[in-house]
Structure 1
Amino acid sequence: MKSDRLLSIILLLQTRGLVQAADLAARLEVSVRTIYRDVEALSASGVPIYTERGRHGGIALLPGFRTDVTGLTEDESRALFVLTTRGTHAALGLDAALGSALRKVMAAIPAPHRPAAELTSRRILVDPERWLPRPRPAVDLDVLNSAVFTDRRLALRYRRSGAVEPGNYVLDPYGLVVKAGVWYLVADKSGSPRLFRADRVVEASVIDEPVRRRPGWELADVWRAMSCEAEERRCALRVAVRLHRDALTLLQCLASGRIVGDLVPDGEDWLSAELAFDSVVETRMLLAFGEQLEVLTPPAIREELVRVAASVTSVYTVGVN
């Protein structure tokens, strides 16, 4: 709707100052010509908006002009109150600030939409934690947060997965990311992007040197690139299996995220499926299905499961007559 777009322009200019018309057009997914028509409409309605020509020009509001969020629609008002659990905000020391901010937003929401927003906050809850999560060590984000927001380099003692002793790193941080309840530091090490789990940080200190990030890269860009790379590497090992229908519930509990494509009937009581794994070691979990699951291909996985099963059998047959 045009009214929503006009309000979006005002809010963007309030937060960003001078913005080029092409940037506004890309952000709002309209043409530059439409943006200029919207600017004329805002000016005609009394909004102190102006344009500056030239290479470094753009569109801006006169200094001191502010508006509120009374233009929020009912759906936008409800969306603001569909929040995740407050663990993320608490980890950043923003739990109290979140509650205060929501009270201010509620006061600014148009009166007809407040009941719907309040009801949404009571009826919808987003919990990012998995069922039966593993116990996680306490995470102290203070030093990491300080380096991120002061644009300083970071000295880190960090224990990588499987390492006996922690290593020392000098990093150039981009920011912090929380994924599925786990905090990560995204940083460059010697100009290359790296990911560090916050709960594996042994010690951290801010270095009094400006951060040396790669030009043109922001946190979202680095995270997107690393996520794409991880997805390409992840689940590269495909395993074809034959599964008894009685084991379908167990498959959904233990490996639903590994199922590739659809389950295909294979006889009266059996199904064929393809599962994805990161490594040969991970396929050992298939032994939990006993005789109700058979690996068909690749042969190397069949051999691995035979070897592991024989090893387990030898443990329990020692001393048995």
Structure 2
Amino acid sequence: MPPSRLISLLLLLQTKGRMTAAQLAQQLEVSVRTVYRDVEALHAAGVPLYGDAGHAGGYQLLAGHRSRLTGLFTGEAEALFLAGVPGAAAELGLGAHFADAQLKLRAALPAPLRDHVDRLSARFHIDAPGWYAEDADAPFLPAVAEAVRAGRVLAVRYRRWKEPTDVDRRLAPYGLVLKAGRWYLVAGPGPRTYRVDQILELDVADEEFEIPDDFSLTAYWTDHQTSFRARLHGGDALVRLSPDGAKRLTGESARALAATGVPEPDGWIRATLPIESVAHAHDTFLALGADAEVLEPAELRDRITATNTALAARYVRARASTPPQRRP
């Protein structure tokens, strides 16, 4: 049995308290039978670990026992240093704490591993937002983060995209999510998702709240992303793409091209691609220029045809009105 798994089991019980064999097996991604064998190995090593049978049973350490296991494997140290995002910590008002934590972690590493992590940190830099993303000014982010930590209700004035745009809301902040450089607040009632940079005014109320026992921030955000993508898929378009046009597709369009694309004799590819709306698809496919031809739906094809006709006429008029340049 790997020593690293025994250490993980011991640290789980040390940090979470009583856990059943099934819970330990799920956390360690092993079978329940393997957990039984690991517990026996810890017993044999003199670890003060005991278990209770029954519905409310489970394994736990004797009260007051704390392990002195502080060693990190190379991969674990790498993950800790690379997982930290200084910018995000600073935005949350934790920049100094982040720096202190990294300093303490580095000091605790043995010299060879410390040198290895230093070299690794010098070769990797995390910059999450996209190239064309604007910096989102979120002055209330530290206050929102503190309310999340303290479990305090927020009274906010929030700007949304539909009328009336500015609304007052009383929110129970369940958690914060950093996605592509933007911070999102997940809050009850609902829960629902709010962009932190769209909060116009904020007061922290002297009122506490309890997060529902069945709420999981990770599970909620996964479902939220799935439903968001589904809302974006308002229909499909049948298109022909040149090899260069096909290379320029990204995201869902690129995945749809890989799944539905059929090569044609002239080297172009015919594929069914998801579209959000006719208006949005018009701009998207028009940006591909002569490297894309929309076949269906007819409404989209007609709209692109009308735009191209208007553009051609405009350039013809511009050329006709420009006086010929004289040669020297």
Specify the TM-score bucket, using the shorter chain as the normaliser.
0.7 to 0.9
Aligned counterparts, 1:169-208, within 5 A:
169-189=169-189, 192-208=190-206
Say if 1:106 and 1:186 are closer, same or farther in 2 by CA, change over 3 A.
same
Moved runs in structure 1, 4+ residues, more than 6 A? 311-321
Aligned-residue sequence identity (percent) comes to: 38
Three-state SS of the structure 1 residue aligned to 2:130 is coil
* Structure-2 residue corresponding to 1:233: 231
Question: How many angstroms does 1:312 deviate by?
Answer: 6.2
1:103 maps to which residue? 103
Within a 5 Å distance, the mapping from 1:253-292 to structure 2 comes to 255=250, 257-259=252-254, 260-262=256-258, 264-285=262-283, 286-292=285-291
* Structure 2 CA distance for aligned equivalents of residues 113 and 62 of structure 1: 33
Instruction: Give the TM-score of the pair, scaled to structure 2.
Output: 0.84
CA distance in 1 between partners of 2:100 and 2:211 (Å): 34
Matched with 1:92 is: 92
| Deviation at residue 247 of structure 1 after TM alignment | 4.3
Mark the CA change 1:139 to 1:268 in structure 2 (over 3 Å): closer, same or farther: farther
8 Å CA contact 1:172, 1:188 repeated in 2: yes
Give, in angstroms, the shift of residue 93 of structure 1: 1.5
Is the deviation greater in 44-53 or in 306-315? 306-315
Q: Hey, what does 1:301 align to over in structure 2?
A: 300
Count of residues in correspondence between the two structures: 316
Structure 1 residue matching 2:218: 3-state secondary structure: helix
Q: 1:270, CA displacement in angstroms?
A: 2.9
Q: SS where residue 132 of structure 2 aligns?
A: coil
> Separation in 2 of the partners of 1:193 and 1:309?
45
CA drift of 1:90 comes to 0.8
Aligned residue for 2:191, secondary structure, equals strand
Whole-angstrom CA distance in 1 between matches of 2:230 and 2:175: 23
Cα deviation for residue 167 of structure 1 reads 0.9
Give the Cα separation in 2 of the matches to 1:69 and 1:108. Answer: 12
The two structures have a TM-score, normalised by structure 1, of: 0.85
| Distance in 2 between residues matched to 1:221 and 1:122, nearest whole Å | 34
Q: What's the C-alpha RMSD, in Å, of the aligned pairs?
A: 2.9
SS in 2 for 1:302: helix
Cα deviation 1:243-294 (Å, max 9, x = unaligned) = 2345456x24xx5552213254334353334433222221122222333321
Highest Rg: 1 or 2? 2
- CA deviation map 1:152-183 (0-9, x unaligned): 32222111125563111122221000011110
Q: Is residue 157–residue 168 contact of structure 2 (8 Å, CA) maintained in 1? A: yes
Partner-residue secondary structure (3-state), 1:99: helix
* Partner residue in 2 for 1:153: 153
- What's the offset of the Cα at 1:317? 8.7
Separation of aligned partners in 1, 2:171 and 2:298: 43
Alpha carbons of 1:269 and 1:173: their partners in 2 closer, same or farther (altered >3 Å)?
same
| DSSP-derived class of the 2:228 partner | helix
Please report how far the alpha carbon of residue 196 of structure 1 lies from its aligned counterpart in structure 2 after TM superposition. Answer: 0.4
Unaligned runs of 5+ residues in structure 1 are none
Q: Are residues 269 and 49 of structure 1, via their aligned partners in 2, closer, same or farther at CA, if it must alter by over 3 Å?
A: same
For residue 82 of structure 1, report the CA deviation from its aligned partner.
Answer: 1.6
CA contact (8 A) 2:138 2:198 kept: no
3-state SS of paired residue (2:136): coil
Q: Which amino acid in structure 2 is aligned with residue 258 of structure 1? A: S
Cα pair distance change 1:307/1:156, threshold 3 Å: farther
